[in-house]
Chains A and B, each alone.
Chain A
Amino acid sequence: MIRSRQSSRLSALFAFAALGLVEMFPVCQAQAQEGATAGPAPASQPPSSEVAAPAPAAASSPEVTPAAAPATPTTTPTSQPTDAKPAGSGQQTQSLWVLSQTKPGPARAPTEAPTEAIDPEQQEPAQIPATLDHLGNFQDHWLLFVHLRGMWISDAALDPFADQDFIGAFGLGGSRTLFSDGQWSLAVTALAEAGSTKASVRGSSSELDLARLEGGPELRMHWIPRSYVFVRALPGVLSAHASLDDVTVGGTLEDNKVAFAGDLGAGLAFTFGGKSSGEGHGVRFWVAAEGGYGIGSIHDFSLTPKNAGAAPARFQAQHLDAPSLNGPLMRLTAAVSF
Chain B
Amino acid sequence: MMRRMGQNGAGRRQFLAALTLSVAGLPVMAGCGGRDSKWDAEPISASDLKVVALSDSVVVADPALNRVLVLAGSSRGELQLSNAPIGQGLLSLWAVPGADRVLALSAGVQPRLRSSDEKASLTVVSGGLSAKVVARYELEQAFSKITVDPQGQWVVLAGDDKASGNSGAVVNPNELVLIDISDRRFVPVRKTLASFGSQPLRYTFTGELHFPDGTSGRLLLVETERDLTVINLANPEANEITVQFQKTQGDQVAKPAGLSYHDSTDVSATQIAVRFEGQSDVILIDMIADDTQTHPFKLLPQLVDAGGIPSALELVNTDQGVRLAALLPTTSRAALIDPQTTIAQFIDLAAPYTQFTLTTPEGTAGADEALLWGANVTNVAFWALGQTGEQAFRSIESLELQTGVGDVVEMPGSSRRRLLQAASGGQFFVLDLDRRQAFPMSTQFGHVQLSVSPDGKRAWAFEHGALDFGMIDLETMHVTALRVDRPVDRVFDIQQPGNHSLAIALHAQGDLAATTLDGHNPDSTLSRFYGGLLLGGLQ
Q: Which residues of A are at the interface with B, using a C-beta cutoff of 8 A?
A: 86, 132, 150-152, 154, 156-160, 162-166, 183, 199-204, 221-224, 227, 229, 244, 246-249, 253, 266-268, 270, 289-291, 303, 311-316, 318, 320-321, 327-332
Contacts and interface: CB of A to CB of B under 8 A. Distances in A.
A291 B26 contact: yes
Contact of B512 (A248, A289, A290, A329): A248
11 contacts: A164-B33, A183-B2, A201-B535, A204-B510, A229-B20, A248-B507, A249-B531, A268-B20, A270-B17, A321-B539, A330-B26
Most buried by A among B40, B507, B512, B539: B539
B305 to A, nearest CB: 59
B7 interface: yes
B31 interface: yes
Interface in B157-189: none
B13 interface: yes
A224 B8 CA distance: 12
A322 to B, nearest CB: 10
B211 to A, nearest CB: 54
Interface string B30-61: 11111110011111000000000000000000
B478 interface: no
Nearest to A201: B39
B32 A330 contact: no
B452 interface: no
Contact of B6 (A166, A223, A267): A223
Contacts, number: 176
Contact of A163 (B28, B30, B35, B42): B35
B346 interface: no
Given A86-B7, A165-B33, A202-B534, A150 B28 contact: yes
A201 B65 CA distance: 13
A291 B511 contact: no
B456 to A, nearest CB: 29
- Please report whether the interface of chain B is mostly helix, strand, loop or mixed according to DSSP: mixed
A160 B510 CA distance: 15
A183 B3 contact: yes
A132 to B, nearest CB: 6
Nearest to B485: A312
B285 interface: no
Given A160-B39, A202-B42, A314-B529, A132 B6 contact: yes
Given A152-B31, A253-B531, A330-B25, 12 more contacts: A150-B27, A156-B539, A164-B31, A165-B32, A165-B33, A166-B32, A268-B16, A291-B23, A314-B528, A316-B79, A316-B529, A328-B26
A312 B529 contact: yes
A224 B6 contact: yes
B30 A328 contact: yes
What are the 6 closest A-B residue pairs judged by CB atoms, nearest first? A247-B510, A166-B31, A312-B485, A312-B529, A268-B20, A223-B2
B509 A151 contact: no
Nearest to B32: A164
A203 B43 contact: yes
Nearest to A225: B6
| Residue among B24, B32, B513 facing the most chain A CB atoms (10 A cut-off) | B24
Contacts of A267: 20, 23-24
A320 B539 contact: yes
A249 B486 CA distance: 8
A221 B20 CA distance: 14
Nearest to A133: B3
A151 B43 CA distance: 30
B303 interface: no
Contacts of A290: 24
A330 B36 CA distance: 24
A221 B2 contact: yes
Nearest to A203: B43
A77 B525 CA distance: 93
Given A150-B27, A223-B2, A312 B35 contact: no
